Copies of this chain bind each other. A is one copy, B any other.
Amino acid sequence: MDIIAPPRQRRKEARPAELTAAALELFVEKGFAGTRLEDVAARAGVSKGTLYLYFDSKEALFKAVVQEGILPVLEKGAGMVDSFTGSSADLLRGLILEWWTRIGSTSLGGVPKLMISEAGNFPALATYYHDNVITRSRELMRRVLQRGIATGEFRTVDVETAIDVIFAPVLLLLIWRYSLGACCGVAHDPAAYLQTHLDLTLNGLAAEGSAP
């Protein structure tokens, strides 16, 4: 008899992702210590024991949340930079907006604040995050800036400082949103904020005579 496999079987591969998704939301909402594995399991629709079939410990789950949440987006970004053919300004703008769509505006937006909060308790994870997320994000932006400078579209600026200047406001937006912004927030409109930030930044980068 050709019966379709029951959902339980078919979801076997999806389980880890469902669990990390549930865990991400709770970690972001309540922090690492404040999140109970029972709640994670319940939100993913499985039992507490099942969680341990996929993750050795709460700490392992936490690492998986960070790794699986962030890496795919970075890889997508690398692909964009590799294949982009338009202006560097459009590339930079596209990267930031894509990042906002995929990360900033989702639960993943809580990850930077989460890493800041828990880095002290998870040095290994902090190192991993630094080496894989931060370093690679900066590398991505570095390539964009160097591309623009090489083509004469951007002015010759100190690249590392420019990377700081580009990332800092975005990070602060997220950090605020997931900490004090929750209780006494002035509710920045993130889209407008990003737009303003990009306009200012690209204007500042634009070589004289080029069309920003």
- A residues near B (Cβ < 8 Å) are 29-34, 113, 115-121, 123, 126-127, 129-131, 134, 168-169, 171-172, 175, 178-180, 182-184
Nearest-CB distance from A190 to chain B (Å)? 15
Q: Which residues of B contact A175 (CB under 8 A)?
A: 116, 175
Nearest-CB distance from A90 to chain B (Å)? 26
The answer to whether B117 and A116 touch across the interface, beta carbons within 8 angstroms, is: yes
Main secondary structure of the interface of A (DSSP, over half): helix
As for how many copies of this chain the complex holds, the number is: 4
Q: Which residues of B contact A31 (CB under 8 A)?
A: 33, 117-118, 120-121
Q: Which residues of B contact A169 (CB under 8 A)?
A: 168
Nearest-CB distance from A52 to chain B (Å)? 13
Given contacts A31-B33, A33-B33, A121-B30, contact A116 B168 (CB under 8 A): no
8 Å CB contact of A120 from B30, B120, B127, B129: B30
The answer to whether B184 and A29 touch across the interface, beta carbons within 8 angstroms, is: no
Residue of B nearest to A110 (CB): B120
The answer to whether B34 and A127 touch across the interface, beta carbons within 8 angstroms, is: no
Greatest chain B CB density within 10 A among A30, A126, A178, A183 is at A183
Given contacts A33-B33, A117-B31, contact A130 B180 (CB under 8 A): yes
The answer to whether B182 and A34 touch across the interface, beta carbons within 8 angstroms, is: no
Q: Which residues of B contact A179 (CB under 8 A)?
A: 115-117, 119-120, 126
- Distance in angstroms between the alpha carbons of A123 and B31 in the assembled complex: 14
Extra contacts besides A123-B182, A126-B182 (18): CB < 8 Å: A32-B33, A33-B33, A113-B117, A116-B117, A116-B175, A117-B117, A119-B180, A120-B178, A120-B179, A120-B182, A123-B183, A126-B183, A126-B184, A127-B183, A130-B180, A130-B184, A131-B184, A171-B172
Q: Which residues of B contact A131 (CB under 8 A)?
A: 184
Residue of B nearest to A184 (CB): B130
